[in-house]
């Protein structure tokens, strides 16, 4: 198919006032619906430090390191960040996809039923551990804060991918430092595919686009500012004053006259978004936190709380060349404090995200 240049703009910094109005908390029945089964957890194997002892034969073996770096996000001084880097030791090299010029970690792609080994090394100057958000893994593989490792040490993850096809993500999970570490740049997507998904024939390759939405505040020297001390922030959680998509303050995606799959993650610490197409077309939602829906549903808008994912299907074949549209976050007011909370399905308790 011949590609025609189009512009899709996921509105970022230039919609500041709209974004800055967001303070409430809301939810949509869709997100809470029982469309996804909770899969049984595999028997938690005894965690072993030495790879040679486990007898685990991975389909995909990855080294993942968290380390300090710097990145030119704006003109002028580079921004100090923390970032995940990954290399494939065994398996298809295309299973790890870097997001160009982004502080975000690489997208890791796996197939349901595959055995995954991840050799995590912590090279940031404080304790950390990796949590696989949404994946059903044995307890010792889930990055609970009690498994934190200090700088310079490694943790071995080995698990089978049990989840249905969908969009999951990984981030640090040390006690009390999860927020600052995610904010510093440590987060990445973990995509699962399965036979069911492949039978549907959804857009793939360059037509399958991750969109990670995060709010950040930068100082005059382009450095990240994270505060959580004042009275307002203690109520709402940290809210940045600039919205970044895939780590970019001015993210724009040229699209072709065809169909797309957009995987949206709210990777913000506390901010909730009420997302809609600016041109009024309904959102065609094909997936949520639990993976693909049985069939698409249409909504005029959808709330996305921190840590949540939503997958959209979008058809630009009827749009004229040069057409521009945006995914925007509508202003809303709600009854809550605007603090991102989630239900922990295992314990039934709430906890702060991420």
Applying CB under 5 A, which residues contact Cu ion? 133, 354
Write down the least CB distance from residue 112 to Cu ion, Å: 20
Shortest Å distance, C-beta 354 to Cu ion:
4
Residue 206: CB minimum distance to Cu ion, A: 28
Nearer to Cu ion, 38 or 57 (CB): 38
What sign has the CA pseudo-torsion 69, 267, 342, 236?
positive
Judge contact between 324 and 8, C-beta under 8 A: yes
Identify whether the C-beta of residue 109 lies closer than 8 Å to the C-beta of residue 163: no
CB of 353 to Cu ion, least distance (A): 6
Residue 254, C-beta contacts closer than 8 angstroms, at least 6 positions apart: 5, 6, 7, 8
Q: Which residue lies nearer to Cu ion by CB, 83 or 325?
A: 83
- Return the closest-CA partner of residue 306 out of 336, 346, 261: 336
Cα(167)–Cα(68) distance, rounded to whole angstroms?
26
Cα gap 148→165, rounded to integer Å:
29
CA angle 157, 124, 80 (to 5 degrees): 130
Looking at the Cβ atoms of 58 and 290, the one nearer to Cu ion is: 290
Specify the residue, 133 or 136, whose C-beta has the smaller distance to Cu ion: 133
91 vs 267, which CB is nearer to Cu ion?
Answer: 267
**Least CB distance to Cu ion at residue 270 (A):** 13
The residue sitting closest to Cu ion, measured at its beta carbon, is: 133
Nearest distance in Å: CB 187, Cu ion: 9
Residues 6+ apart with CB under 8 A from 140: 44, 45, 46, 47, 147
Q: How many Å apart are CA 299 and CA 283, to the nearest integer? A: 5
Of 95 and 133, which has the nearer Cβ to Cu ion?
A: 133
């Amino acid at each position: 198919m011949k590609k025609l240049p189009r512009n899709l703009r996921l509105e970022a910094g230039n919609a500041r006032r709209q974004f800055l109005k967001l303070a409430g908390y809301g939810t949509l029945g869709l997100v809470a619906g029982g469309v996804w089964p909770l899969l049984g957890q595999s028997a938690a194997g005894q965690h072993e430090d030495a790879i040679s002892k486990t007898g685990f034969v991975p389909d995909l073996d990855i080294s993942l390191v968290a380390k300090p770096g710097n990145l030119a996000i704006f003109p002028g001084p580079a921004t100090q960040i923390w970032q995940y880097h990954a290399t494939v030791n065994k398996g298809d090299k295309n299973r790890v996809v870097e997001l160009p010029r982004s502080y975000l970690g690489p997208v890791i792609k796996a197939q349901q039923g595959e055995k995954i080994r991840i050799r995590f090394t912590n090279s940031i100057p404080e304790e950390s551990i990796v949590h696989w958000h949404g994946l059903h893994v044995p307890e010792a593989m889930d990055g609970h804060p009690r498994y934190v490792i200090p700088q310079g040490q490694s943790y071995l993850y080995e698990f089978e991918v049990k989840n249905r096809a969908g969009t999951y993500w990984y981030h640090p999970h040390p006690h009390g430092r999860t927020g600052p570490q995610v904010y510093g740049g440590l987060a990445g997507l973990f995509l699962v595919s399965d036979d069911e998904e492949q039978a549907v024939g959804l857009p793939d390759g360059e037509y399958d686009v991750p969109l990670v939405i995060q709010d950040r505040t930068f100082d005059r020297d382009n450095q990240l500012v994270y505060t959580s001390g004042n009275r307002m922030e203690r109520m709402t959680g940290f809210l940045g004053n600039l919205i970044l998509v895939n780590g970019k303050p001015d993210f724009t995606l040229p699209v072709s006259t065809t169909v797309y799959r957009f995987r949206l993650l709210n990777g913000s610490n506390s901010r909730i978004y009420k997302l809609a197409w600016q041109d009024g077309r309904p959102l065609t939602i094909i997936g949520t936190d639990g993976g693909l829906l049985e069939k698409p549903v249409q909504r005029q808008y959808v709330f996305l709380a921190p840590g949540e994912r939503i997958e959209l299907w979008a058809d630009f074949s009827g749009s004229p060349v040069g057409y521009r549209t945006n995914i925007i976050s509508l202003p809303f007011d709600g009854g809550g404090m605007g603090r991102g909370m989630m239900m922990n399905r295992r314990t039934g308790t709430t906890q702060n995200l991420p």
